[in-house]
């Protein structure tokens, strides 16, 4: 027998830790890419809304019950900004887990 039981166990643990590290790295890359796309889209939406917002005006402020047609872009920007915030929070959590800092 080439390895003892303890050596085989150590090798299995080492390989599983390496697989976890690779999976975590893939998640960070995926989240970073999605965040970059969301931020680029958010920037584009803000620019297009600010250009179109000069011509249209919100007629009244009744809250969420009556939303004018020109407010739809702002709602979309808010949803995309929220999604970007969620992804950024998850990236920070993954970074803290991988570097062992709890932040508390």
Model confidence pLDDT, tens digit, residues 64-94: 555 566 667 777 778 888 888 888 888 888 8
Would you say 74 and 49 are in contact if contact means Cβ atoms under 8 Å apart? Answer: yes
The tally of CA atoms less than 13 A away on the side-chain side of residue 98 is 17
DSSP-assigned letters across all residues of 47-98: HHHHHHHTT-------TTSS--GGGHHHHHHHHHHHHHHHHHHHHHHHHHHH
Assigned domain for 104 exists: no
Q: Into how many domains does the chain fold?
A: 1
Other Cβ atoms closer than 10 A to 59: 10
Assigned domain for 35 exists: yes
What is this structure's pTM? 0.52
Give the pLDDT band (50/70/90) at residue 53.
low
Range of the domain at 66: 5-99
Assigned domain for 14 exists: yes
Residues 8-34: tens digit of each pLDDT: 999 999 999 999 989 988 988 888 888
Would you say 28 and 90 are in contact if contact means Cβ atoms under 8 Å apart? Answer: no
């Amino acid at each position: 027998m080439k390895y003892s039981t303890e050596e085989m166990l150590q090798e299995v643990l080492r390989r599983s830790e390496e697989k976890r590290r690779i999976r975590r790295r893939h998640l960070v890359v995926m989240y970073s890419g999605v965040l970059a796309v969301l931020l680029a889209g958010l920037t584009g939406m803000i620019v297009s809304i600010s250009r179109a917002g000069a011509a249209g005006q919100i007629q009244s402020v009744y809250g969420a019950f009556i939303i004018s047609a020109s407010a739809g872009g702002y709602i979309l920007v808010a949803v995309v900004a929220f999604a970007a915030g969620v992804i950024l929070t998850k990236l920070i959590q993954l970074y803290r887990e991988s570097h062992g800092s709890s932040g508390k």
